[in-house]
Amino acid sequence: MTEAVDIPNHKTHMEGEGLDNPLRAIVVVNSPESPEGEMEERMLDAIQAFDEVESFFDKFDEEVAVPNEEHIKYEVGSDGLVIFVVDSLAIQEKVLKFLDDFCRNMDEEIPEDGKIEENEDEDTPKKKKKSRAE
pLDDT tens, 4-49?
A: 555 444 434 444 568 888 899 999 999 888 778 789 999 998 888 8
pLDDT in tens, 61-112: 999 999 999 999 999 998 999 999 999 999 999 999 999 999 898 888 755 5
Tell me phi and psi for residue 26, to 5 degrees.
Answer: -125, 125
CATH of the domain at 53: 3.10.20
3-state DSSP helix/strand/coil percent for the chain, to nearest 5? 30, 25, 45
Q: Which pLDDT score is estimated for 12?
A: 42
- Total tally of structural domains belonging to the chain: 1
5 located within any domain: no
9 located within any domain: no
Q: Which pLDDT score is estimated for 21?
A: 83
Closest of 42, 45, 54, 31 to residue 82, by C-alpha: 42
Least confident range from 21-30, 52-61, 104-113, 120-129: namely 120-129
Range of the domain at 81: 18-127
- Calpha distance 22→32 (Å, rounded): 32
Whether the Cβ atoms of residue 47 and residue 100 lie closer than 8 Å to each other: no
8 located within any domain: no
